[in-house]
Chains A and B, each alone.
Chain A
Amino acid sequence: MLHFELVTPERLVRSEEVHMVVVPGSEGDFGVLEGHAPIMSTIRDGNIELYKTGATTPELIRVEGGFAEVNERGLTVLAERAE
């Protein structure tokens, strides 16, 4: 499972284990699974697609402004705003 964190300046919105996350990167969407290579990308305003397991419809979280970082601990999305 992939450890996913979504943080805004006001609070920690999400911190959970998920199957896959699709991040709206500024140079194109990219999916992150467990064991993804380290990457750092700015994000554009759009929806994060959150797949809790492999076979569910994704949960959409709207984010604005920020960036995503993948390291050995998992995926962290820092967004100015998130719903």
Chain B
Amino acid sequence: MANLKELKGRIASVKSTQKITKAKQMVAAAKLRKAQAAAEAARPYAQRLEGVVASLASKVGASDNAPRLLASTGKADTHLLLVANGDKGLSGAFNANIVKAAILKARTLIAEGKTVKFYLVGRKGRAVIARTFPGAIVGQFDTTAVRTPGYDEARAIAKDVTDRFFAGEFDVATLFYSHFRSALAQVPTEQQLIPVSVPESAVPATGAAVEYEPDEETILADLLPRNLTVQIFKALLENQASEQGASMTAMDNATRNAGDLINRLTIQYNRSRQAAITTELVEIISGAEAL
């Protein structure tokens, strides 16, 4: 049985851990509000852009001179998986869930005989993917230098990815990120970036003939890279909100666990103390009786 001094030390150490998790929880709660607001503010642009791309794509999509970002290379042999992670831990299973979804997808693709390449955003998850698929990581984007990845970072990532696409490094690109549903629920999500997948519901039903300045193809060629950037930007924002949400929940749990542990240790400490006192009393009394 642990002696009193040891128990005291353990209680103190759990208490200081609890202070850290508590602080981290409150920081995450404050950051979550900001990240959530940013994610919501970015939605109108992404939605409207999607609507415009959808209506243009339905017009141009069938023709032969459709941009390659829309029509793809005609093959689907090499897949690029864009995995967007955070830079920091202490956020529960947030990073692990995204990586797990990406690895699962990669396994299915490999089983179908496709080549899989990875492009990583953020510091986390790199080690796991490098170990599971050695040599499959073709690029990564470092976000450790910036506090909150914004539109400029999204643009840099999109440019890097499109450059690789036009260099013929891959045929299909899929983005993995965590969709922010609420502070308690973050859903790992995959989204096909290249070729652009157009949801049927996004096509607005307009009967009027629209005039284009310049022509449809030129607008679309200008629009598609921009759409790619916006989709990545949206994913980065969703990820930030998700990370803070996951962090808040995880730290809340940790704080509560630390509290339980402290209670248990305190009871054990008190019991040991009483046992020690009782033993001493018994010794004194039996000593006195012996006289």
Contacts and interface: CB of A to CB of B under 8 A. Distances in A.
Do the two shown chains form a genuine complex with each other? Answer: yes
Interface of A: 7-12, 25-27, 37-42, 65-67, 69, 71-72, 76, 78, 80
Contacts, number: 77
Given A27-B214, A78-B52, A38 B208 contact: yes
Interface stretch (B28-36, B42-50, B127-135, B159-167): B42-50
A38 B52 contact: no
Which are the 8 A-B pairs with shortest beta-carbon distances? Answer: A41-B213, A11-B41, A38-B210, A39-B211, A7-B45, A38-B208, A12-B44, A9-B45
The bracket for how many chain B residues form the interface is: 20 to 34
Interface of B: 38, 41-42, 44-46, 48-49, 52, 56, 150-151, 154, 204, 206, 208-214, 218-219, 222-223, 226, 229-230, 233
B212 A41 contact: yes
A3 to B, nearest CB: 13
16 contacts: A9-B233, A11-B41, A11-B42, A27-B213, A37-B211, A38-B206, A38-B209, A38-B210, A40-B52, A40-B213, A42-B219, A42-B222, A65-B226, A69-B52, A71-B210, A78-B52
A27 B213 CA distance: 7
Given A9-B151, A10-B151, A80 B226 contact: yes
